[in-house]
């Protein structure tokens, strides 16, 4: 079985701070990580490899430094890594990203494609289903459990108030939730192999059968026209130096003033 | 090449599960009405399911001018490709300018598949939708990015329909108009076999919870400052006294103190209660993104510089563990006095 896992290198958005004076994002010093949902997807693939044997390839689209994320995936146990990178892919929205990734995936053998549900820097959850549409294969989103039997995959698919247990024939694309598992750590031998033994293959514009009008900024239907930090609402009142009893009475007073009590 | 002028009307995908319309769909009908007035056009509800025609009156009362009904036994349970086939067929036939979806586990799966197929833009998890006043009448879609650290306004100038998902609880539904009427157009579509390649073996409902935090009028919310999971009992006590519900920050969920579905914030739920009481929550940006639209916000935190105080209407610098039980007693006394 050939499993391809799509991973994205993202800034750890928990660590992003705003400059209180300019209101701009401070990106310096923010660590880059493998997107958590993607890492859970990789772990799910590695568990399938452990239990029933599989070739696990990881694919990442991004700037050259995304290689670090691919090396980490190799060190966790992936067999093969592919970096999809070219200036021509820059500025892609989810439509163009999915279109480009799908074209890259067509150059690899796959039975099962796993992506994370969503990336923590964009939070869109769109690229997985859109890759599946481009490849004309079924997608099963929000996977909490994955089982493979023969040429079929059975997934526990999460909704807000229920699960569907669904089954599809492979090839199929699954989007993974972080709840799926706890990803393993890299091993020392794995790290050694990832840097010394294993190669990262690069796919660029010329390797793909795509139209210029369908990739990068030019191929993207959406445009960001404005970014801004949220203006904090008018500051309320804050009291300090009250005893707990005084504080309790203060809060009660406010509930009465607002006619909540 | 697509002629943008051919695309007219604001469409809302109506999410119904077990014959019940999702709250977010009512909210979107309200927003769609606003957008339609600015575009001088109509609101169309796209109702998809099996045996769901009885929901038409409800959709009319919430603001649908027209309902496109696709009723088919194959659509009884949500499945990505059959539903995507329906939406793509509706888009092809009616050429809407705008299609809105709830940013739910269904909408966030369906809308991207549809966008990929019809080759148009999709903006996820919007918190604001408006029509550009620069003559283009483009839909301006504003959403949080970078974990809620910044906001971005996005347009889709050259492709139609312009599509967006909107999180539950962000837009406001209109007060239903009891005798409102809507045109109903039934669309018969045979779902091709090629779209039915995922089989639903079983439907397992999660244990029902006391109340969805998005429906609560009063939320008592706890964060890392509560110290231990047992201390959430104090919050439950206050919530019980006020007739409210307990929710939490991501820190409390990550620590394993409370369940994920109680989480407020960018990666949790967006809430807009009448009263939000933040106890021991510092107020990371991603948390504020989920609760700052609450009508009244009270905050109790030891750290005077905590960002939660920037959005709180009334803040108390102090120890939530000491203040909450006393506050609960004061609330009980006040209610007892009122009921005398």
In 3D space, the residue among B128, B119, B162 whose CA is nearest the CA of residue B31 turns out to be B128
- Beta bridge partners, B98, equal B10, B162
DSSP-derived secondary structure for B35-93: HHHHHT--EEEEEEESS-GGGHHHHHHTT-SEEEEEE-GGGSS--HHHHHHHHHHHHHH
The string of pLDDT tens digits covering residues B203-239 is 999 876 567 898 889 999 999 999 999 999 999 999 9
**In chain B, how many H helices and how many E strands?**
9, 18
* Cβ contact B327–A251 (<8 Å): yes
How many whole angstroms separate alpha carbon B1 and alpha carbon A70?
Answer: 39
Does the pLDDT at position B177 exceed 70? yes
The 8-class DSSP code of residue B193 comes to G
The model's pLDDT over B296-308, given as tens digits with 9 standing for 90+, comes to 999 999 999 999 9
Closest to B216 in 3D by CA, of B276, B263, B266: B276
* B319, pLDDT greater than 90: yes
Query: Cα angle at B54 between B50 and B55, to 5 degrees?
Result: 90
Nearest CA in chain B to A246: B323
Cβ within 8 Å, pair A252-B201: no
CA distance B88 to chain A (A): 12
pLDDT at A225: 92
Give per-residue pLDDT as tens, A85-131.
999 999 999 999 999 999 999 999 999 999 999 998 888 999 999 99
**Percent of chain A with pLDDT strictly greater than 70:** 92
The DSSP string of B80-141 is HHHHHHHHHHHHHHH--SEEEEESSTTHHHHHHHHHHHHT--EEEEESEEEE-TTTT-PEEE
Q: Which of B63, B54, B68 is nearest to B20 (CA)?
A: B54
Mean pLDDT of B281-306: 91
Instruction: pLDDT band for A233, please (50, 70, 90 cuts).
Output: low
Question: Residues with Cβ < 8 Å from A200, sequence gap 6 or more?
Answer: A67, A70, A71, A74, A81, A82, A83
Q: Which of A11-20, B75-84, B134-143 has the lowest mean pLDDT?
A: A11-20
Does residue A51 surpass a pLDDT of 60?
A: yes
Residue-level pLDDT at A238: 87
For residues A83 and A202, the answer to whether their CB atoms sit within 8 Å is yes
Q: What percent of chain A has pLDDT over 90?
A: 76
Residue A232 has pLDDT above 70, yes or no: no
* Mean model confidence pLDDT for chain A: 92
Residues in chain B within 8 Å Cβ distance of A260: 218, 274-275, 296
To the nearest whole angstrom, how far is the Cα of A88 from the nearest Cα of chain B? 19
With beta carbons under 8 A apart, name residues in chain B contacting A127. Answer: 112
Q: What is the ipTM of this complex?
A: 0.89
Q: Picking from A223-232, B35-44, B47-56, which range would have the lowest pLDDT averaged per residue?
A: A223-232
Tens-digit pLDDT profile for residues B91-118: 999 999 999 999 999 999 999 999 999 9
| pLDDT at position A229 over 60 | yes
Q: How many whole angstroms separate alpha carbon B273 and alpha carbon B216?
A: 6
Alpha-carbon distance of B166 to B142, in angstroms, equals: 10
Report whether pLDDT(A23) > 70.
no
Residue A25 pLDDT: 65
- Tell which A residues from 161 to 190 touch B, by Cβ distance under 8 Å: 161-169, 179
Nearest C-alpha of chain A: how many angstroms from B32? 20
- A172 to chain B, minimum CA–CA distance in Å? 9
Instruction: Find the closest chain A residue to B323 by CA distance.
Output: A244
- Ramachandran angles phi, psi of A109, nearest 5°: -75, 135
- Residue A21's pLDDT is what? 65
State residue B170 phi and psi, 5-degree precision. -90, -45
Question: Which tens digits make up the pLDDT trace of A198-207?
Answer: 899 999 999 9
Q: A125: nearest CA in chain B?
A: B108
Identify the residue among A233, A248, A250, A258 best suited for mutation to test binding to B, counting B beta carbons within 10 A and taking the highest: A248
Contact B271, B292 (CB under 8 A): no
Does the CA dihedral A175-A179-A181-A186 come out positive or negative? positive
Is B106 in contact with A159 (CB distance < 8 Å)? yes
Q: Tell me how far apart the alpha carbons of residues B113 and B107 are, in angstroms, rounded to a whole number.
A: 10
């Amino acid at each position: 079985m050939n499993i391809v896992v799509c991973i994205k290198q993202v800034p750890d958005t928990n660590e992003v701070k705003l400059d209180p004076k300019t209101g701009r994002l401070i990106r310096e010093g923010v660590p880059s990580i493998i997107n958590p949902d993607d890492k859970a997807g990789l772990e799910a693939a590695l568990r399938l490899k452990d239990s029933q044997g599989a070739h696990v390839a990881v694919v990442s689209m991004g700037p050259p430094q995304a290689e670090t994320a691919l090396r980490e995936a190799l060190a966790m146990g992936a067999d093969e890594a592919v970096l999809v990178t070219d200036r021509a892919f820059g500025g892609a929205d989810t439509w163009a990203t999915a279109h480009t990734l799908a074209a890259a995936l067509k150059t690899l053998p796959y039975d099962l494609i796993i992506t994370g549900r969503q990336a923590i820097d964009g939070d869109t959850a769109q690229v997985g289903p859109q890759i599946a549409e481009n490849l004309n294969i079924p997608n099963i989103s929000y996977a909490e459990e994955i089982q493979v039997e023969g040429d079929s995959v059975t997934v526990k698919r999460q909704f807000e108030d229920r699960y569907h247990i669904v089954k599809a024939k492979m090839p199929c694309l699954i989007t993974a939730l972080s709840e799926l598992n706890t990803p393993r750590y890299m091993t020392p031998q794995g790290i050694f192999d990832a840097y010394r033994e294993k190669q990262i293959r690069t796919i660029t514009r010329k390797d793909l059968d795509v139209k210029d009008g369908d990739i990068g900024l030019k191929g993207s239907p959406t445009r960001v026209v404005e970014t801004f930090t949220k203006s904090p609402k008018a500051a309320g009142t804050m009291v300090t130096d009250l005893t707990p009893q005084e504080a309790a009475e203060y809060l009660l007073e406010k509930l009465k003033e607002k006619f909540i009590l | 090449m697509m002629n943008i002028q051919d695309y007219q009307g604001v469409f809302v995908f109506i999410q119904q599960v077990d014959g019940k319309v999702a709250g977010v769909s009512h909210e979107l009908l309200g927003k769609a009405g606003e957008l339609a007035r600015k575009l001088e056009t109509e609101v169309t509800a796209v109702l998809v399911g099996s045996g769901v025609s009885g929901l038409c009156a409800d959709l009319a009362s919430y603001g649908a001018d027209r309902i496109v009904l696709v009723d088919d036994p194959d659509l009884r349970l949500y499945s990505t490709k059959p539903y995507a086939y329906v939406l793509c067929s509706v888009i092809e036939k009616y050429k809407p300018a705008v299609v809105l979806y709830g940013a739910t586990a269904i909408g966030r799966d369906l809308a991207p598949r549809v966008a990929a197929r019809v080759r148009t833009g999709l903006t996820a998890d919007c918190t604001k939708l408006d029509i550009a006043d620069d003559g283009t009448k483009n839909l301006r879609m504003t959403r949080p990015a970078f974990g809620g650290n910044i906001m971005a306004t996005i347009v889709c100038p050259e492709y139609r329909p312009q599509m967006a998902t909107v999180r539950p609880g962000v837009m406001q539904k209109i007060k239903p108009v009891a005798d409102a009427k809507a045109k109903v157009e039934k669309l018969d579509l045979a779902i091709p076999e090629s779209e039915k390649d995922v089989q639903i073996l079983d439907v397992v409902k999660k244990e029902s919870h006391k109340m969805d935090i998005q429906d609560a009028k009063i939320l008592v919310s706890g964060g890392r400052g509560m110290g231990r999971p047992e201390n959430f009992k104090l919050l439950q006590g206050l919530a019980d006294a006020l007739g409210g519900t307990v929710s939490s920050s991501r820190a409390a969920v990550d620590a394993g103190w409370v369940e994920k579905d109680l989480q407020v914030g960018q990666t949790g739920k967006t809430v807009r209660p009448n009263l939000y009481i933040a106890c021991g929550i510092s107020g990371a940006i991603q948390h504020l993104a989920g609760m700052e639209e609450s009508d009244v916000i009270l905050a109790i935190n030891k750290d005077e510089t905590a960002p939660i105080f920037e959005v709180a209407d009334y803040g108390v610098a102090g120890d939530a563990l000491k203040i909450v039980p006393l506050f609960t007693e004061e609330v009980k006394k006040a209610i007892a006095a009122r009921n005398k």
